[in-house]
């Protein structure tokens, strides 16, 4: 299991029933890349593509029960990593850092969109 595949599982756990296009946007990768990752995860029985009730051209992505043990491990590792990386940092400082980093990301995305439309 690759880091990218584990990341996709975690994203689907927090956002069930996404389309591949929506997942690609969230993960900030191309739809083709997401397609290959989903193919592999589907091959392992961890993800399934389900038809959309309102648009039969769209596939919704769902985790299978087989993904549950991996998701528990991902959550355990994330909690430990968060604990280690934020040790000694006040909650108010963490919040300010998070807001600052989110703004930096929005600035980069906005610049990319502006450059792409030029």
d(Cα 5, Cα 44) in Å, to the nearest integer? 11
Task: Give the DSSP letter string of 15-33.
Answer: STTEEHHHHHHHHTS-HHH
- Say if CB 61 and CB 49 are below 8 A apart: yes
Instruction: Please write the tens of the pLDDT for every residue from 90-113.
Output: 999 999 999 999 999 889 888 877
Domain 3-87 in CATH 1.10.10.10? The answer is yes
Phi, psi of 77 (to 5 degrees): -65, -40
Flag whether the pTM goes above 0.85.
Answer: no
- What is the structure's pLDDT at 110? 83
d(Cα 39, Cα 47) in Å, to the nearest integer? 9
- What is the structure's pLDDT at 113? 75
- What is the structure's pLDDT at 64? 97
Instruction: Please write the tens of the pLDDT for every residue from 18-77.
Output: 999 999 988 888 989 999 999 999 999 999 999 988 988 899 999 999 999 999 999 999
Q: 79 pLDDT exceeds 90?
A: yes
Per-domain boundaries in the chain: 3-87, 88-118
- What is the structure's pLDDT at 40? 96
- What is the structure's pLDDT at 112? 76
- Say if CB 47 and CB 63 are below 8 A apart: yes
């Amino acid at each position: 299991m690759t880091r990218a595949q584990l990341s996709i599982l975690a994203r689907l756990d927090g956002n069930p029933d996404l389309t591949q296009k929506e997942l690609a946007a969230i993960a900030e990768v191309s739809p083709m890349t997401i397609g290959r990752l989903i193919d592999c995860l589907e091959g392992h029985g961890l993800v399934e593509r389900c038809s959309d009730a309102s648009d039969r051209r769209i596939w919704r992505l769902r985790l299978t029960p087989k993904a549950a043990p991996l998701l528990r491990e991902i959550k355990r590792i994330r909690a430990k990593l968060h604990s280690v990386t934020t040790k000694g940092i006040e909650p108010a400082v963490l919040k300010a850092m998070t807001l600052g980093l989110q703004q930096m990301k929005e600035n980069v995305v906005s610049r990319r969109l502006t450059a792409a439309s030029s």
